[in-house]
Amino acid sequence: MYNLLLILFLIVCIIMVIAILLQSSKGGGLAGAFGGGGGGMGSVFGGRGAATFLSKVTTWLAVFYLLIALGLSKMQSGRTSTDNQSIISQNREQIQQPQSLLPPVESSIPAVGIDSTQAATAPDTVK
């Protein structure tokens, strides 16, 4: 459900950006191609129709944007912290956990050919 809302949120964002860019500004903008800048026979929405249509579309898209954003934030607050981690951080935690393949090494291993009493008094030089 969260992923579906996130995809819908992105689609609404893209459509809203397009609707805002199509609206006419002081220079006419891209809306002139759809009838916002002249009202000739080739215009799709008529003389003022594009401006009112695009402003209504932008308003409704902004409402959907706000509702979806609130829904996403409500769903995100219910998730646990492990759900928020990326795949890379989850794999990094698994790698950092030590996996002992060898048995633990004892702290005092006698040297070869020397018993434990001689090991403490034996010199460290090798002949």
Residues 68-87: pLDDT tens digits? 999 999 888 876 655 556 77
For the chain, which residues make up each domain, given as ranges?
Answer: 48-79
Is the CB of residue 68 less than 8 Å from the CB of residue 5? yes
Q: How far apart are CA 1 and CA 79, in angstroms?
A: 13
DSSP per-residue letters across 21-55: HHS--TT--GGGGGTTT---TT-SS-TTHHHHHHH
Of 5 and 47, more confident: 5
Q: How far apart are CA 26 and CA 23, in angstroms?
A: 10
Q: What single DSSP character describes residue 112?
A: T
Is the CB of residue 10 less than 8 Å from the CB of residue 17? no
What is the mean pLDDT of the segment spanning 120-124?
58
* Residue 41 predicted with pLDDT over 50: no
The reported pTM is 0.47
